[in-house]
Homo-oligomer: A and B are copies of this chain.
Amino acid sequence: MIRVQREDFDPGHEIAALTRGRSDIGGVVSFIGLVREMAGAEKIKAMTLEHYPGMTERALEAIEAEAKQRWPLDAVLIVHRYGELKPGDRIVLVITASAHRDAAFDACRFLIDWLKTQAPFWKLEDTESGPRWVEAKDSDDQAAARWKAD
């Protein structure tokens, strides 16, 4: 399941909803991405996440489908926010549930790695020296690339 929303989310609520009434799930892995106050040496006051409505949902659904094909997953949830966020705010939540913890860990990491390089979001940081678009990181491309060798 995927959701793209302006509002905050409640990780505990989402984890509980995904596992409620299930007794076949052995492990649940979750990743929560937060806005960091320091962007390199600069302090940020706020961050605005722009996205491509319509395509974002499609891209996240495609990534979810890919994970489900690669690993035996009982449940998947991706929630990604857009709009204005402050340091410490939650940006993204990825939850994977599986009978086996290795599958849940691998799939969760794959999802966040792919999401960082495939989902059409762009971060604009409001720093003390003015607004600045975040540049894509080579390290994220490398993180995503490691899943291609499989």
Mark A residues whose CB is within 8 Å of B.
10-13, 15-16, 19, 21-38, 87-88, 99, 101-102, 104-105, 108-109, 112, 143
Counting every copy of the chain, the complex holds 2
Question: Can you give 19 A-B contacts (C-beta < 8 A)?
Answer: A10-B12, A11-B15, A11-B30, A12-B12, A19-B34, A23-B34, A23-B35, A23-B87, A24-B37, A26-B33, A26-B34, A26-B36, A27-B32, A28-B30, A28-B31, A29-B31, A36-B99, A102-B143, A105-B109
Residues of B within 8 A of A87 (CB): 23
Q: How far is the CA of A38 from the CA of B24 in the complex (A)?
A: 7
Given contacts A15-B11, A21-B88, A105-B109, contact A34 B28 (CB under 8 A): yes
Please, how many angstroms separate the alpha-carbon atoms of A91 and B13 in the complex? 18
CB distance from A101 to the nearest CB of B (A): 6
A88-B21 Cα distance, complex, nearest whole Å? 7
Contact A15 B32 (CB under 8 A): yes
- The one of B21, B26, B88, B104 that contacts A23, using a Cβ cutoff of 8 Å: B88
Tell me what chain A mostly uses at the interface: helix, strand, loop, or mixed. Answer: mixed
Chain B residues near A30 (CB, 8 Å)?
A: 11, 28-30, 32
Please, which residues of chain B bring their CB within 8 A of the CB of A25? 34, 36
Give me 11 other A-B pairs in contact (C-beta within 8 A), A12-B13, A24-B37, A24-B38 excluded. Answer: A11-B11, A11-B12, A11-B16, A11-B30, A12-B16, A21-B88, A23-B37, A26-B34, A28-B34, A29-B108, A31-B105
